[in-house]
A and B are shown apart, each in its own frame.
Chain A
Amino acid sequence: MLFTIQVNNKKIRAEKGETILSALNRNGIIIPTLCRMKDFSPTGACRMCVVEVEGRDRLVTACSQPVEEWMKINTHSPRVLTARKTNVELLLSNHPDDCLYCDKNTNCELQRLAGELNIRERRIRAKKIKPRLDQSSPAIIRELSKCIICGRCVRVCEEVVTATSIDFIYRGSRIHVGPAMDRDFNFSSCINCGQCVLVCPTGALHEKHNISEVQEYLNNPAFMKVIQYSPVVPAGIAEELGVKYSRDFDKTLNSVLRKIGFEKVFASGTGTDLFIREMAEQLKEQVENGRDTIFISACPAWIKYAEQFMPEIIPMLSTVKCPQQITGSLIKTLVADQAGLKPEKIFSVSATPCTAMKFEARRDGMMRKGISDIDSVLTVRELGRLIRLYGIDVTNSDSEQADSPMEGFSSSAALSEITGGLAESIVRSFSYAEYKKEVDKQYFKKIRSGGSFREALIPVEQYQIRVAVIDGLAGLEKLKQSIDAGNKYHLVEVMACPGGCINGAGMPFRNQKDDRKNLAKLIYQADENDAIGLPEKSPVLINLYEKLIKENEEISDKKIFHTHYIKRNVLL
Chain B
Amino acid sequence: MSADIDTIMKKYRSGKREDMIPLLQEIQDENGYLSEEIIVKIGRFTGLSTTKIYGLATFYDQFRFFPAGRITIKICHGTSCFLNGSQAVINKIREETGLVSGQTSRDGLLSYEIVTCMGGCNHGPLINVNGNYYPGVKPEQIPELLGKLRYILESD
Q: How far is the CA of A26 from the CA of B82 in the complex (A)?
A: 52
Q: Which of B19-53 contact A (CB under 8 A)?
A: 36, 39-40, 43, 49-53
Q: Assess whether A181 is in contact with B49, with CB atoms less than 8 Å apart.
A: no
The answer to whether A171 has its CB under 8 Å from any CB of chain B is yes
The answer to whether A443 has its CB under 8 Å from any CB of chain B is no
Of B3-11, B54-62, B103-111, B133-141, which stretch is located at the interface? B54-62
Q: Assess whether B43 is in contact with A572, with CB atoms less than 8 Å apart.
A: yes
CB-defined contacts of B39 to chain A, threshold 8 Å? 180-181
Q: Assess whether A180 is in contact with B58, with CB atoms less than 8 Å apart.
A: no
- A170-B58 CB under 8 A given contacts A164-B49, A180-B39, A181-B39: yes
CB-defined contacts of A189 to chain B, threshold 8 Å? 49, 51
Q: Assess whether A571 is in contact with B59, with CB atoms less than 8 Å apart.
A: no
The answer to whether A134 has its CB under 8 Å from any CB of chain B is no
Closest Cβ of chain B to A426, distance in Å, is 33
CB-defined contacts of A169 to chain B, threshold 8 Å? 54-55, 58
Closest Cβ of chain B to A185, distance in Å, is 12
The answer to whether A344 has its CB under 8 Å from any CB of chain B is no
Q: Assess whether A164 is in contact with B52, with CB atoms less than 8 Å apart.
A: yes
* Most A C-beta atoms less than 10 A away, residue of B43, B55, B58, B59: B55
Q: Assess whether A180 is in contact with B50, with CB atoms less than 8 Å apart.
A: yes
Closest to B49 in A: A164
Closest to A157 in B: B51
- A180-B59 CB under 8 A given contacts A571-B40, A572-B43: no
CB-defined contacts of A571 to chain B, threshold 8 Å? 36, 40, 50-51
Q: How far is the CA of A188 from the CA of B55 in the complex (A)?
A: 14
Q: How far is the CA of A171 from the CA of B61 in the complex (A)?
A: 9
The answer to whether A179 has its CB under 8 Å from any CB of chain B is yes
Q: How far is the CA of A490 from the CA of B39 in the complex (A)?
A: 38
The answer to whether A143 has its CB under 8 Å from any CB of chain B is no
CB-defined contacts of A171 to chain B, threshold 8 Å? 58-59
Closest Cβ of chain A to B33, distance in Å, is 13
- A interface, size bucket: 10 to 19
The answer to whether A256 has its CB under 8 Å from any CB of chain B is no
CB-defined contacts of B58 to chain A, threshold 8 Å? 169-171, 182
Q: How far is the CA of A158 from the CA of B53 in the complex (A)?
A: 13
Residue-wise, chain B 120-151 has the 8 Å CB interface mask toward A (1 for contact) of 00000000000000000000000000000000
The answer to whether A168 has its CB under 8 Å from any CB of chain B is yes
Q: Assess whether A167 is in contact with B55, with CB atoms less than 8 Å apart.
A: yes
CB-defined contacts of A167 to chain B, threshold 8 Å? 49, 51-52, 54-56
Q: Assess whether B59 is in contact with A181, with CB atoms less than 8 Å apart.
A: no
- A179-B59 CB under 8 A given contacts A571-B40, A572-B43: no
Q: How far is the CA of A169 from the CA of B63 in the complex (A)?
A: 13
- A168-B49 CB under 8 A given contacts A181-B54, A182-B54: no
CB-defined contacts of B50 to chain A, threshold 8 Å? 180-181, 571-572
The answer to whether A165 has its CB under 8 Å from any CB of chain B is yes
CB-defined contacts of B65 to chain A, threshold 8 Å? 181
- A168-B59 CB under 8 A given contacts A181-B39, A189-B49: yes
Q: Which of A148-192 contact B (CB under 8 A)?
A: 158, 163-171, 179-182, 188-189
CB-defined contacts of A181 to chain B, threshold 8 Å? 36, 39, 50, 54, 65
Closest Cβ of chain A to B139, distance in Å, is 25
CB-defined contacts of B55 to chain A, threshold 8 Å? 167-169
* Most A C-beta atoms less than 10 A away, residue of B43, B52, B53: B52
- A164-B51 CB under 8 A given contacts A180-B39, A181-B36, A181-B39: yes
Q: How far is the CA of A168 from the CA of B52 in the complex (A)?
A: 8
Q: How far is the CA of A393 from the CA of B98 in the complex (A)?
A: 60
CB-defined contacts of A170 to chain B, threshold 8 Å? 58-59
* Most B C-beta atoms less than 10 A away, residue of A163, A167, A169, A572: A167
CB-defined contacts of A188 to chain B, threshold 8 Å? 51
Q: How far is the CA of A532 from the CA of B25 in the complex (A)?
A: 64
Q: How far is the CA of A188 from the CA of B51 in the complex (A)?
A: 9
Closest to A166 in B: B51
Q: How far is the CA of A154 from the CA of B59 in the complex (A)?
A: 15
Residue-wise, chain B 69-97 has the 8 Å CB interface mask toward A (1 for contact) of 00000000000000000000000000000
Q: Which of A186-210 contact B (CB under 8 A)?
A: 188-189
Closest Cβ of chain A to B138, distance in Å, is 29
Q: How far is the CA of A165 from the CA of B52 in the complex (A)?
A: 8
Closest to A162 in B: B49
Closest to B36 in A: A181
Closest to B48 in A: A164
Closest Cβ of chain B to A168, distance in Å, is 5
Closest Cβ of chain B to A162, distance in Å, is 9
Q: How far is the CA of A182 from the CA of B56 in the complex (A)?
A: 12
Closest Cβ of chain B to A186, distance in Å, is 15
The 12 sampled A-B contact pairs (Cβ below 8 Å) are A165-B51, A167-B54, A171-B58, A179-B51, A181-B36, A182-B58, A189-B51, A571-B36, A571-B40, A571-B50, A572-B43, A572-B50
Which 4 A-B pairs give the minimum distances between C-beta atoms?
A167-B55, A164-B49, A180-B50, A180-B51
Other A-B contacts than A168-B55, A170-B58, A572-B50, 14 sampled, CB-CB below 8 A, are A166-B51, A167-B51, A167-B52, A167-B56, A169-B55, A171-B59, A180-B51, A181-B36, A181-B39, A181-B65, A182-B58, A188-B51, A189-B49, A571-B36
Residues of B in contact with A (beta carbons under 8 Å apart)? 36, 39-40, 43, 49-56, 58-59, 65
